[in-house]
Each structure stands twice: as C-alpha cells, then as structure tokens.
C-alpha cells in the first residue's frame, strides 16, 4: 500500500503517471444492518474497471470519442507535448472574472460576493470539479496515538488521528481519514499549522523522514523544521485515505460512500474535490484542538495534490493561506494554454476521475475555448486570502506549464484589487528564480525540477506576513533556527 502511495506522489501527473491503487476490499456489514445494494462493479482489475467507467461516462454524455492527450515522454510521438511559446496560446481571450453573465461589469465587492462569484462557483461545480453532495456524512475524529519526539532539534508533540466517516447509511464502505498533527512541545497556547497532502512515513512528511525532505544534499532542514523554527506546527493528511486515485475507486472512498456504492452522475464530484473535502474535515478537527490556532491553518500540495490544494483553498474560506506547487492542468495552469499537459490528458481514462464527468466533453467534441471558466477564476475564488503559486524550470517541470500558472495568477489580480488587496505587480512573465511576494498573490519559478522543495523558504517568508505565532517557547539549537 505504501509503495503504491509513494509512486503516486513522486510521479508527475503525465499521461504515463498513475496514482496509487486503493484496495477494493470492503468490510462486511454488521449482522443487524439494513440490507443495502452492493457496490457497483465493472469487472476486471482496476485498469479494466477504470476503462469501463470512463467509457460508461462517455456514453452518458453522448460522446463516441475524444481527442488524444499529449505525450510527455516520447519526443518522436506525433502527440508529443508542445513547448513552443509561439503555439501556446490558441485561445488568448479569457473569461472576464469581473463581468456578469448578463454582460454587466462587476464594480463593487458586494457584486463580486453576491452575484459574480456564485456564477463562477456554479460553473466549476457543474463542468469542472463536480458537486459535493449537500449532505455529506459527519466525521468522528479519534486520536489513536500521542508521542513526544524530536524533529531535528525541536521538541514536538505528535498526534496520530483517524477520521471515521459515518457509514451508517451504507455500511459496505468504510472511510477512515489518516492525519497526523505535530505541534511545538514548548507552546503555551494554540499555534498556526501548515498542513500538507502527503504520504510516506505517515506523519513524517510526504517525501522522506525528518531532515531529508526539501533540500538538495546534506542534512539541511526539512520543511517541517523550518515551520517549527517559526513557532508553528505542521500536519500531514493522506489523500488516498479519503478517495482512491483511480477511476475504479469511484464506487468506494467518500464518493462511493455518499453514492451508496453506485456509479457517478456527470456532475458528481471527482477526486480533487473529495481530497479537498477531506482537508476541510481536518480543519474541522483543528477547530476543536486547543493546540491549534484554527484561524491560521495553511495548506500545501504538490503536483496533483497542488491541484487539490487550490481547489480546497477556493472552496473553503477558513484556510488562511495556500502553497500551490506544480499544479499544472486542472490546477493553476490555464486550460486554454497548449503547453505540456492539456485538457485532453485530464479527460482521458488515466485522470478523468479527478474531475467531474462533464469535464470529459471538453476533450471532444467541445474544445478548451468552450469552457465557461478558466483557472484564473479558481485563483480568484481564493481572494482576498493569500496564495503562493510555484513551479520548477522547463528542464524537469515543463509539463506543468509555469508560465500558464503565472498568467492565471496575473488574470486573477483584478479580483484581488477589487477586494482591496494587491496583485502580483506585473503581468510580464519574469526570469526564473524571480521572487514575486510583495502582493497577496505570489509567484516563483525555481530552477529545480518537479518538486516543491526549493520554494518552501520563499513560501514561508511570504506566509510570515500573514501568519503569526505568539504561543511558543521553543528553544532549538541556534543553527537550526531558520526564522
């Protein structure tokens, strides 16, 4: 299970990358349970079931074929991804986030909140990420273990938690959200927390153990240690404990539980919104934990989990700040850009489960320009809260389209300005390693590859403008204090 999860995290979201497979074995219903229909099964293994469900959704939409996605690996392929900027903008006109559907200009914050933003949310719900059901089951959080330990030279208290999702309406499917929370042992009150979508080591961070996560070479501090140096805590939530990262898993996890094991409708939620929902349930728990200042909880995710982070930030106004790393298509990258991964990749059977079924139709017969919204409006939904958008160099992270994410961030700027906040200060794509953190939308393209590592220090510098901790008396060694 953990090996599969590691692959899901480390592989970038290319047409060749696949997420971890979650077990389809379900616990037997208790003997006194009311009889319920069995989960829908499409036959074969996960791959066959995924292909069958993708075909079923195409049939539901009346689609016989879609255009092929880009090939991210084979340069000899006729479908090799475009990396020519001269060809990258076939649809340069973006939907205006400050124009109502009836053509009226949005001129006040009240018009944004009461009229325009709801229009944008409806379009994303129906066509892009899918609708979260009105009545999702409650989550009962259990602290399954508490340990006093050290992370580098920092003393921390780590809680291991399980979020048991109420499955009394459909006992055949069980969902237990995995979460760890670490706070400074010297805290005298609640502290801010940075939460990451992660896996390896469950509670040790997404990509390695303490002190080995986010730097190149040596024993440089991990992102967790840099957070602790600021007097903050950190958390790791496991996305595949919320919803499997494949189409076969759509009849299990939280999506399957709410649907009583049956198949999705065209506007039902996909995995990205499910993972975001899980992050919000973790925030519910933080609001009850006296060790956490729940008003100062940030969220970080990389690659496909960067997409989920942006979705969570856009839909849940309680998140204070977000670090969106290499999120690419389906995240911060403009859908209308032809660079690296494109709409057709997400509409294909390998990634469609991230999205609403309706999204498939924009890979054929409709086109990108037919989308009623684009990713700049998802970023605008985060306003007025601060967001940090990150990507790596074209030598190693070209697939995610750093410039496409920058363009989306720039196009979200007018909404931030309307709400009294600052945009990035430029619409010109800057040279690599340029730090743009003076506004409330921040951007930096680092010179590394497909990793969130190099931009953690810059993000924490940016976040320090907004997140404050007054409750810590933590005394690390002087050489470990990175504040």
The per-residue pLDDT for range 406-453, each reduced to its tens digit, is 999 999 999 999 999 999 999 999 999 999 999 999 999 999 999 999
Q: Is the pLDDT of residue 233 over 50?
A: yes
The answer to whether 300 and 322 are in contact (CB under 8 A) is: yes
* Cβ atoms < 10 Å from Cβ of 102: 7
Both tokens assigned to 260: 């009583």
Question: What is the arithmetic mean of pLDDT over 361-385?
Answer: 98
Quote the domain boundaries for residue 385.
186-472
The per-residue pLDDT for range 259-281, each reduced to its tens digit, is 999 999 999 999 999 999 999 99
- Please report which confidence band the pLDDT of residue 43 belongs to, taking 50, 70 and 90 as the band edges: low
Nearest to 123 by CA among 456, 299, 375: 375
Cα 351 off chain centre by: 14
In a domain, 78, yes or no: no
In a domain, 22, yes or no: no
In a domain, 383, yes or no: yes
* 94 backbone φψ class: left, alpha, beta (φ>0; ψ -120 to 50): beta
In a domain, 279, yes or no: yes
Q: Is the pLDDT of residue 214 over 50?
A: no
pTM of the model: 0.89
The answer to whether 272 and 308 are in contact (CB under 8 A) is: yes
Q: What is the pLDDT of residue 381?
A: 99
In a domain, 17, yes or no: no
- Please report which confidence band the pLDDT of residue 199 belongs to, taking 50, 70 and 90 as the band edges: confident
Which residue's entry shows tokens 């059977």?
A: 349
- Please report which confidence band the pLDDT of residue 44 belongs to, taking 50, 70 and 90 as the band edges: low
Phi, psi of 314 (to 5 degrees): -70, -35
Q: Is the pLDDT of residue 127 over 50?
A: yes
The answer to whether 355 and 378 are in contact (CB under 8 A) is: no
The percentage of residues in the chain with a pLDDT greater than 90, rounded to a whole number, is: 82
CATH of the domain at 225: 3.40.50.1820
Q: What is the pLDDT of residue 298?
A: 98
Both tokens assigned to 393: 């160099």
Task: Using CB atoms within 10 Å of the CB of residue 220, give its burial: 0 to 12 exposed, 13 to 18 middle, 19+ buried.
Answer: middle
Q: What is the pLDDT of residue 390?
A: 98
Q: Is the pLDDT of residue 14 over 80?
A: no
Q: What is the pLDDT of residue 470?
A: 74
In a domain, 125, yes or no: no
Q: What is the pLDDT of residue 76?
A: 95
Task: Using CB atoms within 10 Å of the CB of residue 185, give its burial: 0 to 12 exposed, 13 to 18 middle, 19+ buried.
Answer: middle
Q: What is the pLDDT of residue 200?
A: 53
- Please report which confidence band the pLDDT of residue 201 belongs to, taking 50, 70 and 90 as the band edges: low
Q: Is the pLDDT of residue 142 over 70?
A: yes
The per-residue pLDDT for range 70-110, each reduced to its tens digit, is 999 999 999 999 999 999 999 999 999 999 999 999 999 99
In a domain, 143, yes or no: no
- Please report which confidence band the pLDDT of residue 8 belongs to, taking 50, 70 and 90 as the band edges: very low
Question: What is the arithmetic mean of pLDDT over 365-380?
Answer: 98
Domains in the chain, number: 1
In a domain, 139, yes or no: no
């Amino acid at each position: 299970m953990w090996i599969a999860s590691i692959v899901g995290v480390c592989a970038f979201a290319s047409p060749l990358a696949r997420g971890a497979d979650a077990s389809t074995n379900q616990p037997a219903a208790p003997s006194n349970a009311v009889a319920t229909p069995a989960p829908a099964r499409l036959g074969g293994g996960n791959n066959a079931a995924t292909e069958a469900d993708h075909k079923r959704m195409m049939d539901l939409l009346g689609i016989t074929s879609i255009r092929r996605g880009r090939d991210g690996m084979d340069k000899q392929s006729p479908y090799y991804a475009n990396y020519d900027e001269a060809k990258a903008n076939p649809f340069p006109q973006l939907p205006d986030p400050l124009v109502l559907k009836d053509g009226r200009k949005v001129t006040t914050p009240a018009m944004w909140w009461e009229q325009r933003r709801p229009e944008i949310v409806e379009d994303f719900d129906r066509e892009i990420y899918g609708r979260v059901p009105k009545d999702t089951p409650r989550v009962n959080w259990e602290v399954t273990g508490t340990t006093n330990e050290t992370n580098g030279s920092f003393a921390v208290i780590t809680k291991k938690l399980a979020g048991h999702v109420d499955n009394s309406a459909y006992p055949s499917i069980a969902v237990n959200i995995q979460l760890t929370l670490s706070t400074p042992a010297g805290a005298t009150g609640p502290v801010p927390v940075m939460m990451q979508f992660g896996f390896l080591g469950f509670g040790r961070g997404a990509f390695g153990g303490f002190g080995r996560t986010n730097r190149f070479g040596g024993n440089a501090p991990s992102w967790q240690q840099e957070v602790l140096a600021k007097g903050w805590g950190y958390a790791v939530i496991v996305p595949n404990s919320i919803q499997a990262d494949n189409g076969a898993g759509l009849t299990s996890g939280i999506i399957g539980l709410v649907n009583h094991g049956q198949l999705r409708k065209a506007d039902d939620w996909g995995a990205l919104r499910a993972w975001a929902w899980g992050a919000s349930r973790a925030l519910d728990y933080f609001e009850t934990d006296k060790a956490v200042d729940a008003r100062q909880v940030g969220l970080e995710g990389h690659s496909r989990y960067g997409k989920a982070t942006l979705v969570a930030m856009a839909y849940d106004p309680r998140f204070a700040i977000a670090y969106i790393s290499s999120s690419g298509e389906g995240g911060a990258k403009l859908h209308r850009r032809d660079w690296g991964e494109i709409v057709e990749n997400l509409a294909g059977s390998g990634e469609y489960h991230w999205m609403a079924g309706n999204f498939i139709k924009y890979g054929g017969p409709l086109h990108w320009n037919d989308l009623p919204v684009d990713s700049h409006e998802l970023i605008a939904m985060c306003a007025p809260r601060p967001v940090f958008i990150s990507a790596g160099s074209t030598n190693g992270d070209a697939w995610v389209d750093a410039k496409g994410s920058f363009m989306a961030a720039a196009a979200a700027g007018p909404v931030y300005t309307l709400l009294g906040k600052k945009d990035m200060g430029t619409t010109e794509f800057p040279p690599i390693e340029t730090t743009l953190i003076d506004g409330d939308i921040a951007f930096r393209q680092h010179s590394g590859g497909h990793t969130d590592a190099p931009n953690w220090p810059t993000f924490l510098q940016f976040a320090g403008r907004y997140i404050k901790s007054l409750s810590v008396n933590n005394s690390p060694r002087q050489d470990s204090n990175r504040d």
